[in-house]
A and B are shown apart, each in its own frame.
Chain A
Amino acid sequence: MPTPAIAIAGIAMVVLTATTGDVMTASSMRQLGDLDTLKAERGLPRTILAVMTNAHFVIGVLSMTLSFFSLLFTLSHADVSLVAPATGSLTFVSNAAAAKLFLKERVDTRRWIAAILVCCGVVLLKR
């Protein structure tokens, strides 16, 4: 029998860490600029080095790792039929809010509708 409080806390943790991971990696790519241009200017090895040594990228990857282990922890306390749709779909909406707030992206009505449609679609797919 799953414990609802732990399941809800686990899902919240997965969504929070996954969103942090996505926003931080997106932020690192914003800082570095177009990777194709960077590769043409500096070559592939130095481009990879620039990505791997970017602080936001490192925080992003650590957050994604934490998200993965949070997911494993949550799955040990709640059914996959609850955890997979909840985390998969909520992340789309939280990413849209975080991108608007932290990355200053122009999240217009079109993007909100797209995020909500994909969110609903993921719930249906993962049921």
Chain B
Amino acid sequence: MHKSTMTFRRWIILVVVMLCSACGDTCLSVGMKRVGPVSLMHLGTLIAAIRTPWVAIGIVLLLGFFASYLTALSWADLTFVLPATSFGYVIVALLSRFWLHEHVSLSRWIGVLVITAGVGFVTQGPSYTEVPKDPALPEDATEHVGQH
């Protein structure tokens, strides 16, 4: 019998992964647009950029992304976490359109739909493959996978 390993708290962590990644990238984008183009001859500008509020917020959010991503990997498969959290790309597209007022082409909207379909697909399946600990046990008994 399959037993679910995904609790409400774990879903919240996956949502935090998506939001921190999407908002972090968007904040970095806003910050670096305000800083302007950085020349290879003036790399010190990058250090100065870290001290600007948007870039600093972006870095903090990306640190939050990495911490929550590692937490997710401690109880779910890589092949579950990566597609499930790729919904962050969709959030970036929505933030680009409605916050930064950038033009989002038809092909990008189709991309958003295709990613959403992929996320829907993987989240309907099991989240974790138990690694067999006792070689004497048959494969069926050791491969309990979470399902919801």
- B111, A104: Cβ atoms closer than 8 Å: no
- A111, B78: Cβ atoms closer than 8 Å: no
Interface of A is mostly: helix
B 109-130 binary contact with A (CB < 8 Å = 1; else 0): 0111111111101101110010
Q: Which of A25, A30, A121, A126 has the most CB of B within 10 A?
A: A121
Query: B34: CB under 8 A from chain A?
Result: no
List B99-116 residues whose CB lies under 8 Å from chain A. 105, 107-108, 110-116
Could you tell me the distance between the alpha carbons of A23 and B125 in the complex, rounded to whole angstroms? Answer: 21
A25 to chain B, nearest CB (A): 6
What residues of chain B lie closer than 8 Å to A23, measured between beta carbons?
Answer: 78
- A118, B119: Cβ atoms closer than 8 Å: yes
Query: B23: CB under 8 A from chain A?
Result: no
Taking CB as reference atom, which chain B residue is nearest A122?
Answer: B89
- The bracket for how many chain B residues form the interface is 35 or more
- B93, A125: Cβ atoms closer than 8 Å: yes
Interface of B is mostly: helix
Query: A55: CB under 8 A from chain B?
Result: no
**CB < 8 Å: which of A22, A25, A100, A121 contacts B112?**
A121
What residues of chain A lie closer than 8 Å to B112, measured between beta carbons?
Answer: 121, 125
For this complex, 20 residue pairs linking A to B, each with C-beta atoms less than 8 Å apart, are A29-B70, A29-B73, A32-B74, A95-B78, A95-B82, A99-B79, A105-B79, A105-B129, A106-B143, A114-B119, A117-B117, A118-B114, A118-B118, A121-B117, A122-B115, A123-B111, A124-B114, A125-B108, A126-B111, A127-B105
Residues of chain B whose beta carbon lies under 8 Å from any beta carbon of chain A: 9, 70-71, 73-75, 77-83, 86, 89, 93, 105, 107-108, 110-119, 121-122, 124-126, 129, 131, 143, 145
